[in-house]
């Protein structure tokens, strides 16, 4: 009797700190997920810029696929998602011109001020509905080496470039394209004025496609070089946060998501964009989601800070160790604006945190536990503050927060956020990005009918932990934090 193997799906999810290949199948009505390969990601200094090693990423994808083949899977579907805004310049010969520059590189430091002196911010926001982050693709292209741009045949967003290397086919998938801050909300195309502003032609971007589009099979030349399964690549929601939102269980009537990884992306899934005055004033974004939705969210510095702290202790502590050390400390011993520019890419994060506390006349954390409690408690305060703003902008009360990603493992932060925001928190799955990647593939293949049934399958398949508010436990700390932020912004703390 030939056992019909359930279709196997592979998610390649590459975040700013780590990448992974996750294999999924539906077994007995549940989604079974297994990690087949994990690898480090990160940028290094090369040729005067912070750059990603994109050949390393390609090699790791093939290594992961060889492991999947060796595990007995001869045929798979595969989707690729990565972090946003960064791109690869591809020359007339179809090869990359150089290793891509990271969004944390200093080259865009003054780009927003320069570009928006010619094109006002409100004009750009009305067109695109996208938040002003100085590393958006628009500002990277504004700062790009003009000679390199002239040699460029195609500008490929990171996940699209990886799909192109595997299959030879180039597209621009819309969820990640929206993070460029160059897509026109009304027209659904790259905006002509913004293209002109950075001397790029529409033709230099491959055609725009929706998530769920079949990209093609892995090229034969790779099959000869590596021992790979037969692999059909599907263009998923290629911005990792878009996949994370698809993979969010969506518990609650008016629920919000917090994709908690290197970045914390806090927001709500909308059916129409919200690019009005209040959203503009609070720098909220309308990144495009899967299935015609919009990810109305704010970028928060997130666990990037924890990653730097861990590295600066020479990886002596695991993340779980650092969370356990923090648990032993008292919360809210100092207030920190975690989104201050100074925390974006400092040479020494621990020093930066201590200097900030000294400059603002606050208690300076000196031990790993105290430093991590400062990080976790101020992230939780920032989340609670932003949830209050979200209620104001959207005009209704968010009743539940779904926290996904690696940060959903930090019970201390899940509980603090629930109490500070006075709403229920559902934590998990931590691999929601990979799950959302796979969900789009399954919907494209007809194995799952739509996103609602996909989210039901997620709830049925993974352990989702609920946290409820310990009402009143922290008194007026949130109000005092909000007053502190207003005071610091008024003082224009140098950052």
Ligand X SMILES: Nc1ncnc2c1ncn2[C@@H]1O[C@H](COP(=O)(O)OP(=O)(O)O)[C@@H](O)[C@H]1O
> By CB under 6 A, is residue 375 in contact with ligand X?
no
Whether omega for the bond prior to residue 161 falls within 30 degrees of 0, making it cis, is: no
| Structure tokens, 198 | 């950075």
> By CB under 5 A, is residue 261 in contact with Mg ion?
yes
Instruction: State how far the Cα of 374 lies from the Cα of 337, in Å rounded to an integer.
Output: 11
When binding is defined by CB under 6 A, the residue of 9, 15, 295, 429 that contacts ligand LHFEOU2G is 15
Cα three-residue angle 283-287-293, rounded to 5 degrees: 125
Instruction: State how far the Cα of 260 lies from the Cα of 371, in Å rounded to an integer.
Output: 19
User: Is residue 421 a known part of a binding site?
Assistant: no
> By CB under 6 A, is residue 369 in contact with ligand X?
no
Q: How many CB atoms lie within 10 A of CB 339?
A: 18
Contacts to ligand X from residues 244-263, by CB under 6 A: 261-262
Closest separation between CB of residue 362 and ligand LHFEOU2G, Å?
A: 28
Q: What is the DSSP letter of 348?
A: -
User: Is residue 417 a known part of a binding site?
Assistant: no
Instruction: State how far the Cα of 387 lies from the Cα of 268, in Å rounded to an integer.
Output: 10
User: Is residue 111 a known part of a binding site?
Assistant: no
306 binds, among ligand LHFEOU2G, ligand X, Mg ion, none (CB under 5 to 8 A by kind): ligand X
Which one is catalytic: 81, 99, 134, 240?
A: 240
User: Is residue 455 a known part of a binding site?
Assistant: no
User: Is residue 49 a known part of a binding site?
Assistant: no
| Structure tokens, 51 | 């750059």
> By CB under 6 A, is residue 407 in contact with ligand X?
yes
Report the residue number, 183 or 375, with the smaller CB distance to ligand X.
Answer: 375
Contacts to ligand X from residues 16-75, by CB under 6 A: 16-18
| Contact between 270 and 129 (Cβ < 8 Å) | no
Helix (H, G, I), strand (E, B) or coil at 88: strand
When binding is defined by CB under 6 A, the residue of 243, 275, 286, 307 that contacts ligand X is 307
Pairing state between β 285-288 and 294-300: antiparallel
323 binds, among ligand LHFEOU2G, ligand X, Mg ion, none (CB under 5 to 8 A by kind): ligand X
240 is catalytic: yes
Pairing state between β 264-270 and 208-209: unpaired
Report the residue number, 198 or 300, with the smaller CB distance to ligand LHFEOU2G.
Answer: 300
Closest separation between CB of residue 160 and ligand LHFEOU2G, Å?
A: 14
| Contact between 163 and 206 (Cβ < 8 Å) | no
Span of 46-54, 106-114, 260-268, 435-443 interacting with ligand LHFEOU2G by CB under 6 A: 260-268
> By CB under 6 A, is residue 374 in contact with ligand X?
no
Closest separation between CB of residue 81 and ligand LHFEOU2G, Å?
A: 9
Instruction: State how far the Cα of 349 lies from the Cα of 158, in Å rounded to an integer.
Output: 27
When binding is defined by CB under 5 A, the residue of 9, 11, 12, 15 that contacts Mg ion is 15
Q: Can you list the positions of beta strands (E) in 41-190?
A: 43-46, 49-52, 75-82, 87-91, 152-157, 172-173, 183-184, 189-190
Residue 434 pairs in a beta bridge with: none
| Structure tokens, 168 | 């030879």
Closest separation between CB of residue 189 and ligand X, Å?
A: 30
Pairing state between β 18-27 and 8-14: antiparallel
Per-residue exposure over 300-335, b if at least 16 CB sit within 10 Å of its own CB, e if not:
bbbbbbbbbbbebeeeebebeebbebbeebebbebb
| Enclosing H/E stretch for 286 | strand 285-288
User: Is residue 307 a known part of a binding site?
Assistant: yes
| Contact between 444 and 234 (Cβ < 8 Å) | yes
307 binds, among Mg ion, ligand LHFEOU2G, ligand X, none (CB under 5 to 8 A by kind): ligand X
Instruction: State how far the Cα of 242 lies from the Cα of 248, in Å rounded to an integer.
Output: 10
> By CB under 6 A, is residue 101 in contact with ligand X?
no
> By CB under 5 A, is residue 249 in contact with Mg ion?
no
Interface characters, 71-110, with ligand LHFEOU2G (x: CB under 6 A):
------------xxx-----------------x-------
> By CB under 6 A, is residue 454 in contact with ligand X?
no
Span of 115-123, 259-267, 338-346, 475-483 interacting with ligand LHFEOU2G by CB under 6 A: 259-267
Query: Catalytic residue numbers?
Result: 240
Question: Could you tell me which residues are annotated as the binding site?
Answer: 16-20, 84, 239-241, 262, 299, 307, 406
State the residues that interact with Mg ion by CB under 5 A: 15, 240, 261, 433
* Binding site members for substrate: 84, 239-241, 299
Interface residues with ligand X (CB under 6 A) are 15-18, 261-262, 303, 306-307, 319-320, 323, 405-407, 409-410
Which spans of this chain sit near ligand LHFEOU2G (rule: CB under 6 A)? 15-16, 83-85, 103, 240-241, 261-263, 265, 299
């Amino acid at each position: 009797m030939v056992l019909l193997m359930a279709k196997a799906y592979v998610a390649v999810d590459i975040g700013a700190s780590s990448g992974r290949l996750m294999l999924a199948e539906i077994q007995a009505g549940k989604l079974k997920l297994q990690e087949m390969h994990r690898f480090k990601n990160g940028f290094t200094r090369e040729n005067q810029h912070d750059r990603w090693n994109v050949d390393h990423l390609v090699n790791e994808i093939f290594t992961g696929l060889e492991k999947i083949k060796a595990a007995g899977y001869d045929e798979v579907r595969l989707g690729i998602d990565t972090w946003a805004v960064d791109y690869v310049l591809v020359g007339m010969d179809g090869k990359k011109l150089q290793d891509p520059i990271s969004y944390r590189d200093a080259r865009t430091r003054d780009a927003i001020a320069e570009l928006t002196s010619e094109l006002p911010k409100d004009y750009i926001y009305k067109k695109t509905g996208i938040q002003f982050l100085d590393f958006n693709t628009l500002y990277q292209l504004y700062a790009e080496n003009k000679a390199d741009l002239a040699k460029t045949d195609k500008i490929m967003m990171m996940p699209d470039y990886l799909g192109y290397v595997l299959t030879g086919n180039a597209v621009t998938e819309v969820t990640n394209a929206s993070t460029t801050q160059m897509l026109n909300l009304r027209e659904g195309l790259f905006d002509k004025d913004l293209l002109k502003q950075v001397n790029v032609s529409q033709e230099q971007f491959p055609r725009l496609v929706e998530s769920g589009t079949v990209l093609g099979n892995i090229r034969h030349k790779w099959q000869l070089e590596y021992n790979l399964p037969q692999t059909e690549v599907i263009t998923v929601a290629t911005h990792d946060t878009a996949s994370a939102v698809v993979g969010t269980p969506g518990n609650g009537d008016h629920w919000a998501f917090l994709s908690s990884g290197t970045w914390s992306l806090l927001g709500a899934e909308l059916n129409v964009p919200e690019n009005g005055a209040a959203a503009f004033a609070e720098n909220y974004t309308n990144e495009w989601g899967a299935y015609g939705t919009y990810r109305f969210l704010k970028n928060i510095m997130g666990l990037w800070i924890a990653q730097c702290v861990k590295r600066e202790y020479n990886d002596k502590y695991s993340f779980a160790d650092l969370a356990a050390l923090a648990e032993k400390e008292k919360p809210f011993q100092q207030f920190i604006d975690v989104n201050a520019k100074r925390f974006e890419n400092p040479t020494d994060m621990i020093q930066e945190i201590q200097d900030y506390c000294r400059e603002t006349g606050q208690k300076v954390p000196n031990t790993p536990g105290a430093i991590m409690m400062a990080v976790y408690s101020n992230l939780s305060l920032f989340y609670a503050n932003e949830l209050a703003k979200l209620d104001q902008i959207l005009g209704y009360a968010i009743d539940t927060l779904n926290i996904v990603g690696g940060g959903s493992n930090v019970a201390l932060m899940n509980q603090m956020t629930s109490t500070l925001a006075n709403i229920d928190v559902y934590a998990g799955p931590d691999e929601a990005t990979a799950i959302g990647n796979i969900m789009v593939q399954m919907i494209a293949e007809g194995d799952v009918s739509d996103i609602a049934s996909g989210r039901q399958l997620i709830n049925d398949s993974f352990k989702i932990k609920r946290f409820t508010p310990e009402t009143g436990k922290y008194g007026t700390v949130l109000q005092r934090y909000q007053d502190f932020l207003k005071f610091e912004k008024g003082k224009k703390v140098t950052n």
